[in-house]
Structure 1
């Protein structure tokens, strides 16, 4: 008797599923009317005819799944083709993942409502027992579609990154890119060719940190961050937000927080055409980083180091000259003279120097005069004081 009842229930379920099969067009039309209520679908450029065709294919697949008792293996290749196609198409159309999943799972609501509409009151116990099966069939399709969507998004991102890298390489391949090249790169990157850009550069372990920070920044911010690699050096550049009228921010103030604790050189460029020059500046600054540097180093901060290196390459050693000039000093005199000179360079004030050294201002004046007598450097004359700033950089 029990087997007869089970057979009767199975036959009745098959009858209902067959009715669904003949009502696929009705189901698809109901899907169209409801899916457009999802904002991302209502605003999308996906044509209604294309959604209608996809809805028909989807409901055919779901009804077949119900025919097979929810067996995921039955017709798996066919199902995979449909879900893969749907996921890929929606990814290319720019539909957000959450909206896609909401649309696919809308199928359950429509299927279930249609089953209730065609069923009789006597079918209620059977439908209650089958609700999990209906949900499982829809959910499996949703998971496969979502997986296909994510895979397509990864491919799209890789393609976009590859194309962008080609244009970035073209931009940095010449000392001074042409206006046409800058315009093409700007279009590929989705930025203005005339925007102001910040750029940071690092090598070694700092370059690895820079790459990781670029990925993090690109994932969490609306602002665009672009990576350029050349040998051991990594560069990251980004368009700087326009300042308020009358406001001019130093380049160091435009560096995003995600790069703030990475030792690197930083420079700015007015327009894409100036980026190669900025990259050379930033890489030169990166080469001057010292163990005490824990963040970005700008030219305003490091110009004495740059000047010192250039002079050294020309065979001029200011430190050696200074040491020779101070050689006649004995005991603590040399220490006191250099201490007074260093403090005066920082403030330009005899009074502040005296306060810092806890001595009378006349004592400071005497030490500065003695320093000038030995070295020939008058610290009150900027172009002479600059020699010391560079020497002690």
Structure 2
């Protein structure tokens, strides 16, 4: 230390200030009376006005989501609860006020970030007011209560956040119920009128004529689909789910389905059936088609519109058109080896639609493939190179 520093006069202690006392961040018993005196000097109206001046600079509170009267009422109640908590340690009233602030902001559509910003303003207003009413002799007392004030406001913030989340979940459930009620009109026993479909689209805030993805699942596959929806709030907010005929169905705009990362679990899942419909008016027919596809055998394999032959075959069995499915009698003339080679060749041809592609896939000569298809025609009377006749085989072997 320099000689000048040694010779410099030391700052005189303020009246009543103990220069030898160590600094502390914890209130002391002897602080109690003066602390209560400072709290009693706070003016609720001034606190509320200061809060309103500061909150006016927050963008989300400038659009009228929350009226100034509601902000003033909430500010008065919040500061009253905070002061009472710091005065008497009573928490029930403050918890109720905070929870109600959280729920009301969720209903108003205020973001969680804006809610927390407002609570940080509460702290700034409260602390600045305490500093304003304190004297120089209260400096260390304020220091010892800084953490106490912050923890009190932090408890308030936690309860407000709990109320906010609870209300958001309730609103989400209510929205889902309202959605299902409207969607039930689209899938009711009678097809809805076009004008009513347009009204439902507007109420659901969904495009009327854009394509949609529709998923249907039954049994254990429905349970898996339901678990995926239940466990992810973000996912639930992007889709509309409903029940029909004992099945769970999920509807999503195709653009949302293709692009949103939150829907990846559903895209990658193999549960149930998935089809695309051209617009909201097709939900009526699409629900029934997807539901029938979901009932087809093949759990663990996602059924699609390409499985239509299975549905049509089921409709033909037991009707006067069932003979369309009868092609096995002619094939019974073949020996096991010949039948296997003919059937395999016909199936691959039906998959590829090309003699050349089918012969390449089976590693045989084009002429060999042609001979096998001709042999199939001789045995069954069906020429699979003719589309309308090939359809009989597709249905019979579905």
TM-score, normalised via structure 2 length: 0.82
Within the alignment, does 1:50 sit opposite 2:70 as a pair? Answer: yes
Within the alignment, does 1:262 sit opposite 2:270 as a pair? Answer: yes
The CA deviation at 1:226 is: 1.0
User: What is the CA RMSD across the aligned residues, in angstroms?
Assistant: 2.9
Distance in 1 between the 2:235 and 2:295 partners? 30
1:139 maps to which residue?
A: 154
Within the alignment, does 1:72 sit opposite 2:86 as a pair? Answer: no
1:18 maps to which residue?
A: 40
Deviations 1:340-387 (A, max 9, x none): 222222223333333333333222222222221111111221111221
Distance in 1 between the 2:265 and 2:155 partners? 42
Deviations 1:288-330 (A, max 9, x none): 2425x622x222x112222222222425556973221012212
* 220 and 349 in structure 1: CA distance in 2 versus 1, 3 angstrom threshold: closer
Alignment partner of 1:268: what SS? strand
- Maintained 8 Å contact 1:218/1:225: no
Q: Any residues of structure 2 matched to 1:182-193 within 5 Å, and which? A: 182-193=197-208
Within the alignment, does 1:170 sit opposite 2:185 as a pair? Answer: yes
Within the alignment, does 1:298 sit opposite 2:304 as a pair? Answer: yes
* 65 and 242 in structure 1: CA distance in 2 versus 1, 3 angstrom threshold: closer
Within the alignment, does 1:85 sit opposite 2:92 as a pair? Answer: no
1:324 maps to which residue?
A: 329
Alignment partner of 1:241: what SS? helix
- Maintained 8 Å contact 1:214/1:236: no
How many residue pairs get aligned? The number is 368
Within the alignment, does 1:126 sit opposite 2:141 as a pair? Answer: yes
1:386 maps to which residue?
A: 391
Distance in 1 between the 2:348 and 2:279 partners? 40
The CA deviation at 1:275 is: 0.9
- Maintained 8 Å contact 1:200/1:282: yes
Distance in 1 between the 2:250 and 2:173 partners? 18
Indicate the larger mover: 368-377 or 93-102. 93-102
Q: Any residues of structure 2 matched to 1:315-354 within 5 Å, and which? A: 321-354=326-359
The CA deviation at 1:271 is: 3.3
Q: Any residues of structure 2 matched to 1:360-379 within 5 Å, and which? A: 360-379=365-384
Deviations 1:130-182 (A, max 9, x none): 11221222222222222222232233233322222222223322331023432
1:158 maps to which residue?
A: 173
- Maintained 8 Å contact 2:102/2:161: yes
- Maintained 8 Å contact 1:24/1:56: yes
Alignment partner of 1:145: what SS? helix
Distance in 1 between the 2:270 and 2:66 partners? 44
- Maintained 8 Å contact 2:325/2:393: no
Indicate the larger mover: 200-209 or 93-102. 93-102
Q: Any residues of structure 2 matched to 1:108-123 within 5 Å, and which? A: 108-123=123-138
- Maintained 8 Å contact 2:213/2:276: yes
Distance in 2 between the 1:196 and 1:361 partners? 42
* 384 and 149 in structure 1: CA distance in 2 versus 1, 3 angstrom threshold: same
Distance in 1 between the 2:207 and 2:123 partners? 46
- Maintained 8 Å contact 1:182/1:272: yes
- Maintained 8 Å contact 1:72/1:137: no
1:62 maps to which residue?
A: 82
* 268 and 218 in structure 1: CA distance in 2 versus 1, 3 angstrom threshold: farther
Distance in 2 between the 1:231 and 1:329 partners? 45
TM-score, normalised via structure 1 length: 0.83
Alignment partner of 1:228: what SS? strand
2:19 maps to which residue?
A: none
* 231 and 45 in structure 1: CA distance in 2 versus 1, 3 angstrom threshold: same
For structure 1, the residue ranges without an aligned partner over 5 or more in a row are: 1-5, 244-248, 250-254
The runs of at least 4 consecutive aligned structure 1 residues that moved more than 6 Å come to none
For structure 2, the residue ranges without an aligned partner over 5 or more in a row are: 1-27
